[in-house]
Structure 1
Amino acid sequence: MASNFESIQMGCDFIHDFACSACEEDGLNTEAQHFCNQCTKYYCNNCVPVHNKLYKRHAVLDRKDVKKWAAAPGTVEVLEICERHPGEALKLVCGDHDQLCCHMCVAVDHRQCFSIQHIQDIAKDIHKDPEFRQLPQRVAELRTHLEDMKNDRKKNGASLKKTRAVIVGEIKAIRKKINDILDKMETTTIQDLDRLVADQELSIKKDMDACTLMHDELKSIMDAIPNKESSDKPPLYIGFRKCKEKIKQANEILQNISKIVKYKITFRKNDGIEENLATMAKFGDINESNVFTKKTLPLFSQDHVFDSQGYHEYSVEMCSDKNRCDIEGVCELPGGEIVISDYSNCKVKLLDQQYRVADHCDVPEYPFDVCHIGGNEVAVCVNFRDDRRELHFINMTKGKLVTTRKLCFMHRSYGVAHHGNKLYISSNTALYIYTMSGKNIKKLYEDKSGGNTVQRIAISNDGKTVFITNFSNNQLITLDNLGNKLATFTDHYLRGPHGPATTAGHVFVCYFDSDTILQVDKDGKKKLATLARKQDGVLSPKALFFSSRTSSLFVCGSKDTLLVISLR
């Protein structure tokens, strides 16, 4: 009897996204729960057993694979279904709200809108839309970025496990020096560590799951878009609009995930643990040390040419300064703080994320270049004629700059860069490589044709390329990591190259005498763009730093200000 079926008469108001094809032939309106690809028909739970008995080799999809269902003739394509009103087809666009609409959407939510158009009318030239033509490439790139983000998080998870092993080993080494009273302390400390690792791994899993889900959704919607130019235009337009929304969601997911570049855990031993054992509860503090980004940036290709979007100046002058600031070096810490070296006032200054001077530490003589070493540590070149030739290591601890150690050299130290646990030090005519403990590895390059032929240096992200500014001969020199010269860049109109900066294949250089900032190609052979000049606030620039957190270029020189150039 009909009452045994989960169906109602066709004349009722029930609307299903997919109706059972067999029931429709009997004048019934029953929601389909299955779809056969070979028959291209839909079946409810009551009809599908009959179909399966007749066609045992047919592949039948159930509701969990509904996105793979194809539309039978006379039904609404999956792509065209209104998400708010399943069963209704998307036929209209509201220009006032920039939304795809079905007739019910218009009747309920857009009755007062004036810009309602038929998709059929505005989708005619969709194939000619440049943005539509770029859609496959944009989706492919986004899916690649999502997959890369997922892989990075996977590697991060493995790194956390290795970090845990290192820290536990450190804990065990301490444990051997003391007696059985440490059992409780060991347990407490490792529990703290495991809790943080578990929290970090959970965060990583959530990031990976989010990337996987969005990756699959982008693929699914691209698979649903017809790829033939002869296809009906409305489905193409609808797919285009839905894909744009997914792209927006994917970018938001990447932005939220990328705020933390890397999950990290550190361990710091309690000093005097043997002497003060009785007063301590655990071996040391297990702390998270996540690397945050200020915001998510566009993923620029290596051949991307930057465009300046704005120039802002921030004062770096302090009340205690006796002279006009002369900034020789600048770099950024993982938390967004900026460290600059003020030559004329013999100070290393700390700027907060709003570029305000938050702290400083004095150095005995004139500070030159500064570079980030790792964590919150920087290295600063300090010289005074021929008497002082040093590299000072300064750490930011609780918002304060503290000098922790120094290295002494037999030559001057004007430029410094760090890569792969090696220090690259320039002496104005030669470039040396040292270990972190100050042992000289080798002289990588030398040029005695002038007094300032090896001024400042920058290392590519992969460590394979070294960029040197030759101030005496107005050149930007490119070396490989063996010291072989690869390229020499000059510009007839520009004088006094200073402070190169590199990031992810992009190279920047400033010109002291010409008050100019350039972008140069990754091989150091040709100019790509002029990013700033004197009229933009550039005055005798000496130091550059590109912030991947904010897509900004920090410019310092003979001014009391830090110039921040926003790039796109």
Structure 2
Amino acid sequence: MASKFESSIQRGCDFIHDFSCSPCEENGFNTEAHHYCTQCTKYYCQNCVSKHNGLYQKHAVLGQKDVKKWEAAPGVVDALERCGMHPGEALKLVCGDHDQLCCPVCVAVDHRQCSKIHPIPDVAKGIQINIEFQQIPKKIAELEKQFELKKEARMKNTTSLKKTRAAISDKLKTIRKKINEILDKIEKATLQDVDGIIAKLEKNIKKDIETCDKMTIELQNMIAAVQTKSKSSESKSYIAYRKSQDMISQANDHLRGISVIECYNVTFQANNLIEELLSSIQTFGTIEEQTVMTKQRKDPLSDPNHVFSVAEYKEYNVRMSDDKGRCDIQGVCEMPSGEFVIVDNNNCKVKLLDKEYRVIDHCDVPGKPYYVCHIDGNEVAVCIYSVNADIRGLYFINATKGKFVTTRKLSITHGCHAIAHHGGQLYLFSDTALYVYTLSGQKVKMLYEDISLVWSVWKCAISNDGETIYITNFSKHQLITLDNNGNKLSLLTDPDMKQPRGVHVTPAGHVFVCCQCSDTVMQVDKDGKKKLATLARKEDGLYGPRDLCFSSRISSLIVGGLKDTLLVFKLN
């Protein structure tokens, strides 16, 4: 068995194929298959398929364009026994180091250094009489029943959400009606002002017209009088002359008074404040998603002050062949898929790890990355802390199907070496302050500041309800606890807390802190007032720990620091 296993590894080391030629493999050669015979249920390379076709001309042979049919064809490795990474290979081995089923190719590629590789038949002895194995059908049936009940509940939930939408729509119509009434009132008041001014001006115009008519008649009468008196005595003519002079002087005074105003006009200057206020408001109100949790039996782990202990720990190498120096893992976060994203400050890389902590993709960044934060779905944000304003900022990256794609960048005017996300808002950390931003990059406010020393505000974690914020003060060796308005609730110091860097809070409220100078990982109570336990120290492999995260999926703390390996602590 051992020699056969070793030959499989040796063949795998030469070149890895999803499907290997069956006749060649039987003769000790590693040749890629290009054909599959559904009757023989074997794979063939170009040379072997010609011999096969000469002997079996009526057999149905599938080419590479039908490779999906190879996997589904009867006689090919059963779906249950097929390797997920290498579909053409059967699961034949178990890696005890990773507690993982493997095919020979898996062992050759990913488990060369593992010491506990066992054939499945050896591990499987007695499994059929195992109580847990015999209870599997019952457990599956119970799970199926629970899923059906959950499906019915979700369908009812969909109906209730539609009713909620209709109710909110009615409220919006009421709000809109009130706003329309206010706008109608403003419009009416504005038109009343316009009508008052125009009435006043029309009165002035009417007065000027009446003056023009009056003076025209009086001037016409004066002309007639002068012409009549000019034929009379000189005395009468003189009197007419003097009165006409007075009349002309009076007429000129009226004319000058009217001529000062060329015309009457009314202008309108809009109050832009109304439009600006309305434009600044995005919605009629806040829409909040609420999740009502199912009442369950009390679990000790649901107690935020439940004290953990370390069951075991393992190290996983995350250094890449082209890394120029030792890894400096400044940030760690888990994706919903179970993959992990880490930032390697020293090599200016963001690395994507699979569930076994193997690097499956990476992207180079233009500056030194200091932190990574899961935003939503497959998206993370990476902090680049640089004095160069063109480089400094947040880089948003999508991790989809094991590949990284950089989507956008937010430039930040101040330094930013850490970030948290909660409730659709970003919490950004400079050396001395905590800022709140929108997801689009607009600064909302400065929530907290401590300018007494540099690095007084390093990293933070936010409780699941958003009510509590935990901040590491690197310079003063403190953990600071704030409420969501920035008010200080507590301050914790401890001999094991020297230069705290990373802080993490679980959905249940458990708080963990890693400290760079003291090489420790600690658990503190949810109020941030006392240490509950020191879970790991330098003798456990810690070296300058920078950041940590807790995976509820595997009940483990993943710790990164100034070394080429991640430390994974399995907690009780």
- TM superposition score normalised by structure 1: 0.50
User: Higher strand proportion, which one?
Assistant: 1
More helix by share: 2
Which structure has the greater CA radius of gyration?
A: 2
